[in-house]
């Protein structure tokens, strides 16, 4: 209720927020979570909570009147369609030089992501979080995060035999014939459930094209892991469809938190205030950065330092497709859950996940999302005239990523005698260089915050999400975000609570 006082308020319900809520609640501390997106716990008229990738409806996008599919063309034709404006689950947030895809709803990115749960190679960790003790991370916090997330791996025998991973086996063959290490990648998807889907004994999700706009079954999203355990403590309340707009010191101590209640068209139906003794910023790299930059610039949190808003990167994301020969079909049946990648990080600065293209028809295409060592870092700034936060990323900054991804695919194309697809991102466009799925940074650890995510100058304020990580994790980021949150909350509990 408006005007209430709470001991801890967590902004956002993604990985960082869910870890904070669970561990605080386990320690006996009541937690209030505020989430701008919907709860995603109620089926629509079709009996499903989420819509499929091939039939996007109002549930697909956050407040758009037209879909904005990451792969927006096929054989040169645009595939986007009109939809009713609604607080859908996937936000394609547009900045001047990049579209940043993010999950909206209770569970954050876990609602829409591929669930690829990759722990970085230890030799790369110093480049990911240079001021964090790697020994502790690899002995305690990465294992804790993997257990909490329910990470598992595809059964190798099933992988070899199922038609649903033919595309990944083709990807392996091509990687290996060019001498690249091919690695299996763990995932939070329930692999036993997927095998049951293939056997036809349960409703299909990964095998029915569900992913980008949510999985109705099979995926261990945060709703089914950390947030379920947090709710079971009886100490965690979650308020969906409320967007935090301000956090400022309260006169009697603690912080006044302002929020807007939204309806499903995105209209503000009420504004509310409450007081929190402590606040965790867990609104994701973009959400937390936008809030902190605005609050510093407008004087609400004047003592935040000048590092706020800096150090933002796209995890080097770049996409491409290759056209295979007719004797290398990738299959009309494709699981939406990727399970393998090509590791050329050390030699070429690229780790490419072999991604599905689940169109239901044979495309003879191999599709890849590469994570690359892109060195560019962008900054969020407050645009007072427009009343919004801008990001100064430039599309041309993807060029190093393209060069790094080419260290893999030029060689594969040369070995196989194949070419890039030029029809997936626009006519005659090879590279998907306009987007990222992996925003990171903006409130970097030991720069904008101290070594545990405390915001200096404002006791009781913490950052605990992907904004702590300086722009790149060398692999998909969710496990590292979770493990860092586990580390920080474990160290904060005995000292600050
Ligand atoms: P988020 O998970 O983004 O959570 C932040 C939450 O805060 C959101 O729910 C948001 O709605 C809410 N919020 C924001 N602002 C406010 C506000 N002002 N008030 C209230 N609430 C607010 N990573 C992997 O490791 N493996 C993958 O396979 C993978 N695939 C991906 C596929 C897609 C399509 C996308 C979009 C992402 C993918 N990712 C993947 C990335 C991963 O999901 C993110 O890195 C991760 O979710 C970030 O976690 P977080 O805790 O920092 O924030």
The average pLDDT across 296-303 equals: 98
Does the ipTM exceed 0.85? yes
The average pLDDT across 355-364 equals: 91
* Binding site membership of 439 for ligand 1 (Cβ less than 6 Å): no
- Counting residues of the chain whose pLDDT is more than 90, the rounded percentage is 95
Distance between start and end Cα atoms, the chain: 24
Q: What is the DSSP string of 23-78?
A: HHHHTT--EEEE-SS----S--TTS-SS--SSS--TTSBBS-SB---SS-EETTEE
> Encoding tokens for residue 423?
């029809």
What does the pLDDT read at residue 147?
Answer: 98
How far apart CA 60 and CA 91 sit, in angstroms, is 9
Q: H-helix or E-strand containing 94? A: strand 90-94
CA angle 129, 381, 285 (to 5 degrees): 40
User: For 64-121, what is each residue's pLDDT tens digit?
Assistant: 999 999 887 776 677 899 999 999 999 999 999 999 999 999 999 999 999 999 999 9
Residue 353 annotated to the active site: yes
For residue 283, give the ligand 1 atom closest to its CA: 7
Residue 434 annotated to the active site: no
* Binding site membership of 106 for ligand 1 (Cβ less than 6 Å): no
* Binding site membership of 15 for ligand 1 (Cβ less than 6 Å): yes
The average pLDDT across 177-186 equals: 97
- Ligand 1: which of 20, 32, 50, 109 to mutate, judged by most atoms within 8 Å of the beta carbon? 109
Cα 465 to averaged position of ligand 1 atoms, centre (Å): 9
> Encoding tokens for residue 309?
């808003």
* Binding site membership of 112 for ligand 1 (Cβ less than 6 Å): yes
For residue 245, give the ligand 1 atom closest to its CA: 18
For residue 477, give the ligand 1 atom closest to its CA: 25
DSSP 245: E
* Binding site membership of 401 for ligand 1 (Cβ less than 6 Å): no
* Binding site membership of 218 for ligand 1 (Cβ less than 6 Å): no
Query: Has residue 455 got a pLDDT over 60?
Result: yes
User: Could you say which of 174, 217, 434, 438 is catalytic?
Assistant: 438
Residue having the nearest C-alpha atom to atom 3 of ligand 1: 284
């Amino acid at each position: 209720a408006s005007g209430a006082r709470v001991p801890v308020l967590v902004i956002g319900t993604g990985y960082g927020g869910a870890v904070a809520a669970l561990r605080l609640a386990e320690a006996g501390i009541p937690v209030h979570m505020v989430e701008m997106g919907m709860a995603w716990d109620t089926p629509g008229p079709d009996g499903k909570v989420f819509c499929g990738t091939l039939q996007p409806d109002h549930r697909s996008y956050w407040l758009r009147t037209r879909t904005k599919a990451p792969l927006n063309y096929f054989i040169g034709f645009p595939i986007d369609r009109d939809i009713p404006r609604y607080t859908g689950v996937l936000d394609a947030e547009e900045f001047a030089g990049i579209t940043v895809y993010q999950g909206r709803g209770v569970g954050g990115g876990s609602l829409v992501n591929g669930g690829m749960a990759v722990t970085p190679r230890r030799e790369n960790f110093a480049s990911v979080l240079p001021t964090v003790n790697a020994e502790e991370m690899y002995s305690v916090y990465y294992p804790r995060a993997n257990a909490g997330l329910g990470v598992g791996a595809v059964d190798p025998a099933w992988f070899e035999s199922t038609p649903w991973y033919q595309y990944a086996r083709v990807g392996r063959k091509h990687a290996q014939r060019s001498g690249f290490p091919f690695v299996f990648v763990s995932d939070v998807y329930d692999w036993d459930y997927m095998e049951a889907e293939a056997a036809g004994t349960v409703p299909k999700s990964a095998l029915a094209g569900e992913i980008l706009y949510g999985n109705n079954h099979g995926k261990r999203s945060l709703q089914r892991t950390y947030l379920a355990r947090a709710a079971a403590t009886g100490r965690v309340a979650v308020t969906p469809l409320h967007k935090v707009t301000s956090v400022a010191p309260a006169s009697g101590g603690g912080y006044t938190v302002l929020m807007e209640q939204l309806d499903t068209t995105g209209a503000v139906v009420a504004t509310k205030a409450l007081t929190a003794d402590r606040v965790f910023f867990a609104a994701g790299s973009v959400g937390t950065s936008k809030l902190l930059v605005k609050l510093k610039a407008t004087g609400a949190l004047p003592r935040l330092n000048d590092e706020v808003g800096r150090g933002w990167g796209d995890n080097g994301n770049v996409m491409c497709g290759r056209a295979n020969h007719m004797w290398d079909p990738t299959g009309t049946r494709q699981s939406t859950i990727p399970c393998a990648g090509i590791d050329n990080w050390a030699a070429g600065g690229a780790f490419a996940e072999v991604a599905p293209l689940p169109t239901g028809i044979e495309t003879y295409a191999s599709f890849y999302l590469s994570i690359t060592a892109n060195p560019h870092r962008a900054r969020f700034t407050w645009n007072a005239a427009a009343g919004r936060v801008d990001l100064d990323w430039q599309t041309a900054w993807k060029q190093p990523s393209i060069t790094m991804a080419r260290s893999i695919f030029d060689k594969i194309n040369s070995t196989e005698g194949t070419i890039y697809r030029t029809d997936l991102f626009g006519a005659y466009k090879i590279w998907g260089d306009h987007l990222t799925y992996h925003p990171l940074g903006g409130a970097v650890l030991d720069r904008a915050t101290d070594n545990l995510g405390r915001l200096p100058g404002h006791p009781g304020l913490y950052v605990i999400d992907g904004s702590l990580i300086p722009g790149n994790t060398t692999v998909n980021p969710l496990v590292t975000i979770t493990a860092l949150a586990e580390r920080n909350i474990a160290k904060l509990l005995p000292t600050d609570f």
